[in-house]
Structure 1
Amino acid sequence: MAAVESSTGERPKLRAGLAAQPHRYGEFVLFDPLRIGKPVVLSAAALAAVDRFDGRRSPYEIAFQLNVEFPQIRVDGEAIAMLAKALDEALLLDSPRFWNQVRGPIRKPICIGTYEAEPEPLREQLTELFVADGGPGLPREEKASSSSRLRAVLVPHMDYTRGNITYGHGFKELFERTDASVFVIIGTSHYSPARFSLTEQHFETPLGVVETDRDYVQRIAEAYGDGVFADPLAHAPEHSIELEVVLLQFLLGQRRPFKIVPLLVGSMQDCVEEQADPSAKEDIDRMVKVLRQVEEQSKEPVCYVISGDLAHIGPKFDDPRPVDAPWLADSRQKDQAVLQALETADSRRFFQTIAAEGNARRICGLSPTWLTLQVAQPARGQTLHYQQYVHPEGYESVSFAAAAFFG
C-alpha cells in the first residue's frame, strides 16, 4: 500500500501484531510490541476508525461507515486520511514507509533511550562501563600477551545501566587480545520464531555507521540455503546485536577498520525438551558446518561475539513468586555450574548442564553460546565477570557474565 498522503483513493492497512490499551479517560494508546513503531494516543472514535484500517476501505468509506454506525460522531474522509498519515509516520501502517525502514540498507538504532543519543554523552556513558568501581579499566592500546588467540567473547545484552562493568570486562578482553577485522555477532533472537536470521543491513549508531560484511553474509546464506532471510522483521526490533555494535564502534571505530556479521539465533528449547544435543537437529548442524566453512574461506581474521544473558527468574517471567535471597543463592549456584561448563569450552557439557534443569531459569544465552562453541571450537574458556541484577521488589532477576574463549 502506498503511503497515505491524502484522502484520494488510498486504503490504509494497520500492521499486524499491534496492541491497544486504555490511556487516560476516554483515550487509548496504540503501540507496537516490537518497538519498531512509535506509540500513538487515540480517542475512542479514532480507535474505532483505526479498527477499520484493513487495506480494503478508503478513508471516505471508513468515515461513511462510522457516521452510519455512530451518528453521534461526525467525521469526514479527510480527517481519516490525516489519521492514517499520522499512523504511517509512526510506522504503524503496513506501508512502503514501514518496509523501507525495516528493509532499507541501514538499520536504525532502536535502543536509544536506554543509552545516550548524542556522541559525547554516549562516549562518557560507555567509558563508565570500564572505569566504574569494579571495572577492568580502559583497554590498553598495546596488545596483551597471550599464549593462545582469542576466538570468542561472551558479553551481556542487558541495557548498559544494569549490565554495566560486565560489559567492560568482556570488551576489554576483546580489544586487547584480537586483531580481528570481522566480528561475527551471534545474538539471542527475542522476537522471531526463525531458528536463524541474517541481515545485510549496516548498523547505525550515534557514533556512525558500522558496516556489515555483506559478502560474508551472502556466503553463509548461499551455503546454508533457504531460511536465513525468512523473517524480514527479525533484526528490526532486536537489541542483542545493537548493544554490542555500539561498543565495538566505541572501541574500534577510530582505531582500525572492521565489519560485522549479524546473526540471530532462535530458541533451542525443543532440544532441551527432547534432551537431545542440538547437533542432532539437521538445521542446526548445517549452520555449524556452514559457519566453519565460511570462516575458513575468509581472508580476514575473525572473532566471535556471543550476545547472551543467563538466568531470568521472577514474576516478570511468569514465575509464581517474588525473587528472594534463598532463590537468588540457588540460581547463583546453578549459574556457576553453567560457567564451569563454559570454561571447559565443551558445548555438550554446557548444553547438558542447562538441559538437566529443563532450562527452567530461561537462560537466553543458551542458543548463541552453544552455536559459537561448536563453530569456534576453542580449547578453553575463562570467566571474566558475573552479576545478578535484582529488582528491588523481587519482580525479576537477570544474571549475566563476561567470558573469553581461547584456542
Structure 2
Amino acid sequence: MTTGTTKDATPSPVLRNLQFSPIKEGEEQYVVLWDPTGLSAEKLVLPLNYFFIIQHFDGEHSLQDITGLYLKRFGEFLMPDKVERLVADLDAKLFLEGPRFEDAKQQAASAYRDAPSRPAAFAGKSYETDGVKLRKQIDGFFTSKEGPDFKPSENKGKPIKGLVAPTFDLKQAGPIYAWAYKELQDAQQPDTYVVFGTAHAGLEHLYAVTDKDFDTPLGSVEADQAIISRLRAVVPDCFVEDRAHQAEHAIEFQLPFLQTVAGSSKPFTIVPVLCSFSAASLSDPSVRQQVDRFVDALREVLSTSEKSICLIAAGELAHLGMRYGDSAPPTDFSFHRSMQYDLEMLKFVEELKPEEFAGYIQKERDQRRISGFSPIYTLLRVIQAEKGQVLRYDRGITDQYNSTVTFASMSFF
C-alpha cells in the first residue's frame, strides 16, 4: 500500500475518489461506499465513527494523527490495530491509492482495450436485459402519463441538431428521456450522434473518447471509426482514459432510445465522449486550454465530415441532500427554489450561451452540484443550431433521506 507521509514519516493512507450514501437500519445510521469507476465491485458499509476515520485518509494525516482526532471527537481511545485492519480492508477492496490499485487499473485498461466491444454494463439492473422486453419498456416510457403525447413536434421534419437528456435510472426517469427522443423521432434524423456523457467518476484529462462499439440487448451500436480516427490524430490524450467508458452509464442509457427511435429507420453511428470538469475549473488557464483544444478539434473534425450530425448531452442538474454533502434533507421549499434556479440556468442553454451558462453556476458557487455541466457546456460550444427548448423537467429521489437529483430533456434545431 502506497501512502502519503507526514512530517513524522508515519504512513498516511489516501482514500480514492469514491461515492458514498447514508443509509439507515432501524435507529442506526451507516454510510455505504463504492467505486464509481467499476474497478472494484465491492461495497463497504461503515458506522458513522468509522466514516469519520476514513474522511481523514487524505495523505495529510498519519494513523497516529487520526487516533488523536478520534479521541477528541468521540472521547474514547481507538486501538491502533482497528485502524490498521480498516486500512488493510480498504486496500484489499482497491479503495486506497497505492500499488495494488495501480496494478488493477493497468490490468483493467489493457483488458478493456483488448475487448472486441463495450458490453452492456447495466442491462438487467437499470433496464431490461431481454431485447423484446427492452423495446416494450422503451415504448412504455413514450406512452406513460409522464411521457410525451402523440401530438407531432412543431419541428417535425426539420434536421435536429442536438438533445439534452438525463442520466438518471431509466426505471424512474424513462418518460423524461422520451420527451427528448420524441423530438428526434419526429425530426429529420442524422447519420451520426456525438454523445457527450457525464463521467461521474471523474477524469484526469477532462475528456475520454473510446472507439469501441457498444453492445445493448437490442444489438450493437457502431462507433464512427472515421470521425474518431481523425479526432485521435489531433487530440490523442483524450483517448488515454478510454476505460472510463466501461462502468459509466451516461452514454449507455441513451442507446436503447437511439436504437428504438433512430435505428428503426436508418443505420447510425456514435462518437462516445465522456466529460468531467466543473464550471469553476474553467477559471484555471490549464483547464480552459484543454477544453478549448478539444472543442476546437471536434468542431474541425465534424465540419469536414460529410455526415449529418446530432449532438447529445447526457447529464443531470442539481444534487440536493445529505447524500451529496448537505447537512439536512431537502424540503419542498428548497426543491422548488432549486427548480426555479435550474430553469433560470437553462435559459442560457436554450439561448446557446455557454459562457453565461457557466457564469450562472460560478455565481452560485455550484452549491447545487450541477453534474451535467461539462457535457452540456461542450455541446453548446460545438453545436450549430438556432435555438434550444426545455421540453420537460423533473426530479428523482435517491435514498431514504429524500436526497434529490433534478434533470431535464431539451432539443435544439
Relative to the length of structure 1, the TM-score reads 0.73
**For residues 42 and 281 of structure 2, what CA distance do their matches in structure 1 show?**
37
Hey, what does 1:312 align to over in structure 2? Answer: 319
**2:163 counterpart of 1:160:** no
Tell me by how many angstroms 1:352 deviates. 1.2
Q: Find the aligned partners of 2:335 and 2:108 in 1 and give their Cα distance.
A: 46
Shift of 1:379: 2.0
- Residue 383 of structure 2 corresponds to which residue in structure 1? 376
CA distance in 2 between counterparts of 1:40 and 1:399 reads 26
Superposed CA deviations along residues 11-42 of structure 1, whole A, max 9, x for unmatched, are xxxxx9799xxxxxxxxx9986533565599x
Aligned residue for 1:240, secondary structure, equals: coil
2:290 aligns with 283
Q: Could you say if the C-alpha distance between residues 314 and 200 of structure 1 is closer, same or farther in structure 2, counting changes exceeding 3 Å?
A: same
State the Cα deviation string for residues 144-177 of structure 1 (Å, max 9, x = none). Answer: 244xx32111000111122121101001111221
1:198 to 175, 187, 209: 209
**C-alpha contact (below 8 Å) 1:317/1:396 kept by paired residues:** yes
Q: 1:397 aligns with which of 374, 397, 404?
A: 404
What letter is aligned with 2:357? F
Give the Cα–Cα distance (whole angstroms) in 1 for the partners of residues 332 and 340 of structure 2: 12
What aligned pairs does 1:239-388 form with structure 2 within 5 A after superposition? Answer: 239-271=249-281, 274=283, 281-388=288-395
Unaligned runs of 5+ in 1: 1-15, 20-28, 42-91
- Residues 40/172 of structure 1: CA separation in 2 closer, same or farther (3 Å cut): closer
Question: What is the SS of the residue equivalent to 1:262?
Answer: strand
Identity of aligned residues (%): 29
Distance 1:253 1:206 in 2: 13
Structure 1 385/213 Cα, relative in aligned 2: closer, same or farther at 3 Å?
Answer: same
Match of 1:214 in 2: 225
Q: How far did 1:337 drift?
A: 0.5
Answer whether contact 1:18 1:30 (CA < 8 A) is retained.
no
Q: Return closer, same or farther for 1:331/1:312 CA change in 2, 3 Å cut-off.
A: same
Distance 1:399 1:94, change over 3 A: closer
C-alpha contact (below 8 Å) 1:154/1:307 kept by paired residues: yes
Q: Distance in 2 between matches of 1:151 and 1:97?
A: 36
Paired residues of 1:139 and 1:176 also in contact (CA < 8 A): no
What is the alpha-carbon distance in structure 2 between the residues aligned to residue 391 and residue 192 of structure 1?
Answer: 20
**Contact 1:384 1:404 (8 Å CA) reproduced:** yes
- Separation in 1 of the partners of 2:141 and 2:254? 13
Is the Cα–Cα contact under 8 Å of residues 197 and 251 in structure 2 kept in the other structure?
Answer: yes
Contact 2:176/2:394, CA 8 A, preserved across alignment = yes
CA contact (8 A) 1:105 1:200 kept: no
Q: Secondary structure at the match of 2:237?
A: coil
The residue type paired with residue 255 of structure 1 is S
Aligned counterpart, 1:227: 237
Paired with 2:109 and 2:233, the residues of 1 have a C-alpha distance of 27
> Separation in 1 of the partners of 2:351 and 2:152?
27
Letter in 2 for 1:135: G
Local SS of the residue matching 1:211: strand
C-alpha distance in 2, partners of 1:263/1:230?
12
Question: Could you tell me how far 1:99 is from its partner in structure 2?
Answer: 3.6
**Counterpart of 1:127?**
139
Distance 1:166 1:316 in 2: 23
Please state whether the residue corresponding to 1:304 is helix, strand or coil: strand
Instruction: Tell me the secondary structure at the aligned position of residue 223 of structure 2.
Output: coil
User: Cα offset for 1:300?
Assistant: 1.0
Contact 1:17 1:33 in 2 (8 A): no
1:338-382 CA-to-partner distances (Å, cap 9, x unmatched) read 122222111122111111111111111111111111111322111
Letter in 1 for 2:217: P
Residue of structure 2 aligned with 1:136, choices 148, 152, 159? 148
Shift of 1:246: 2.0
**Can you list the C-alpha shifts for 1:186-237, whole angstroms capped at 9, x where unaligned?**
111112323010001000000111100111111112122x311112421111
* Secondary structure class of the residue paired with 1:221: helix
Report the CA distance between 1:134 and its aligned residue.
Answer: 2.9
How far is the alpha carbon of 1:107 from its aligned partner? 0.2
Q: Distance in 1 between matches of 2:138 and 2:166?
A: 14
- Cα deviations across residues 69-117 of structure 1 (Å, max 9, x unaligned)? xxxxxxxxxxxxxxxxxxxxxxx96796884346412001111211111
Contact conserved, 2:112 with 2:243, CA < 8 A, in 1? no
Q: CA distance change for structure 1 residues 310 and 332 in 2, over 3 Å: closer, same or farther? A: same
Q: Which residue of 2 aligns with 1:26?
A: none
1:114 pairs with 2:126:
yes
- How far does residue 384 in structure 1 lie from its aligned partner after superposition? 0.5
* 1-structure distance, mates of 2:328, 2:271: 40
CA contact (8 A) 1:127 1:138 kept: no
Partner of 1:105: helix, strand, or coil?
Answer: coil
User: Offset of 1:394 from its aligned partner?
Assistant: 3.7
Structural RMSD (CA): 3.1
* C-alpha contact 1:315 1:322 (8 A) present in aligned 2: yes
TM-score normalized by structure 2? 0.72
1:34 partner letter? T
Contact 2:279 2:358 in 1 (8 A): no
Find the counterpart in structure 1 of residue 77 from structure 2: none
